[in-house]
Amino acid sequence: MITKRGLIAAGIGFGIRAAGAATTPPQETVLRLGYLASRSSQIGRGAAELAGQVARLTDSRIRVEVYPNSQIGAEAELLQAVAHGTVDMAFLTSAVLGSFVQPLGIFDIPFLFRDLAHARAVMDGPIGQDALAAFRARGVVGLAWGENGFRHLTTATRTVRSAADVKGLRIRVPQSEVMLTAFRALGTDAQPLAFNELYGALATGRFEAQENPISTITAARFYAVQKHLSLTGHVYSPAVIVINGGVFDSIAPPDQAALRRAAQAGAKVSRTASEVADRNGVADLQSNGMQVIRNCDRASFVVAMASAEPTFVKLFGQDRIAAVRNTKAG
């Protein structure tokens, strides 16, 4: 956390005040917030909304500086930096959460959610709220669940319609043990890589394929290095807004409440941007030269990934997985 507006604001001024001098301006608190994607992504739009709302709701007592494109760290490093207090805030996708708070890796299980309504019901309900509270044990405060979106597969040369088509595919997955386990169960050569290194790895042919939400694929211009898009919707990826616990606790309660309200507003904008991208972004990618495979055999992926289920049960427990799957929407 950075504070500005000079020594006078900090109470240092040699103890001399001229008669009728202007009142010392209030101290401004500056919070740095990092995220992995571009400003035009669903995460970027949500972060911008959060920053604007914080300024408005606190009468500019607090200012949030946003750092897109992993400028102050890739996601795994960024989350650790928030925990250690070297970065104040972050807007993170679910991919790195399981390595930080192990039970949160459950959200990366493929085909865990039936549809968007189901996913949001889980994240907004008791399961999601308990997940937010779990950050506290690691010195971090979870403020709100936003949205990264449903993840889809892109490839450079191979057309993918079913699970059989991905065998042997060199694919980048995020730094998520759950997703790594699932994709290796499909017979792919899956390897983790930080998002900020991904475009270059695809351009050089280090990886043949990757998977991300539509908004991310568009914002990162992956259509320039990937020619096929398969609408697999294999993982719903929430995104979370977090703040260092010590920083949050140092803020006055009314401004804490303002931060939570601003985070909820930013989360809502990220959801809207993700939903619009899913509705309109496929046509944009198609106009940029991608071949879109809409009728993927999702059932074949479920069957092929079944061998990973015992690992997921061991990690998270059958009851927890069932609780997510059985949550009713609306």
Strands 28-34 and 89-93: parallel
Q: pTM for the full model?
A: 0.89
pLDDT digits (tens, 9 = 90+) for 239-279: 999 999 999 999 999 999 999 999 999 999 999 999 998 89
pLDDT digits (tens, 9 = 90+) for 76-118: 999 999 999 999 999 999 999 999 999 999 999 999 999 999 9
Task: Please identify which residue in the block is written with the tokens 């679910």.
Answer: 94
Determine the residue type at 234: H
What is d(CA 82, CA 12) in angstroms, rounded to the nearest whole number?
Answer: 30
How distant, in Å, are the alpha carbons of 166, 168, 190 from that of 187? 7, 6, 9
Burial profile 216-230: b = 16 or more Cβ within 10 angstroms, e = fewer: bbbbbebbebbebbb
In this structure, how many other beta carbons lie within 10 angstroms of the beta carbon of residue 300? 16
- pLDDT reported for residue 33: 98
- pLDDT reported for residue 22: 46
What is d(CA 237, CA 50) in angstroms, rounded to the nearest whole number?
Answer: 20
The token duo for 122 is 């889980």
Domains in the chain and their CATH numbers? 28-325 (3.40.190.170)
- pLDDT reported for residue 1: 60
Backbone angles phi, psi at 31, to 5 degrees: -115, 130
* Res 19 pLDDT > 90: no
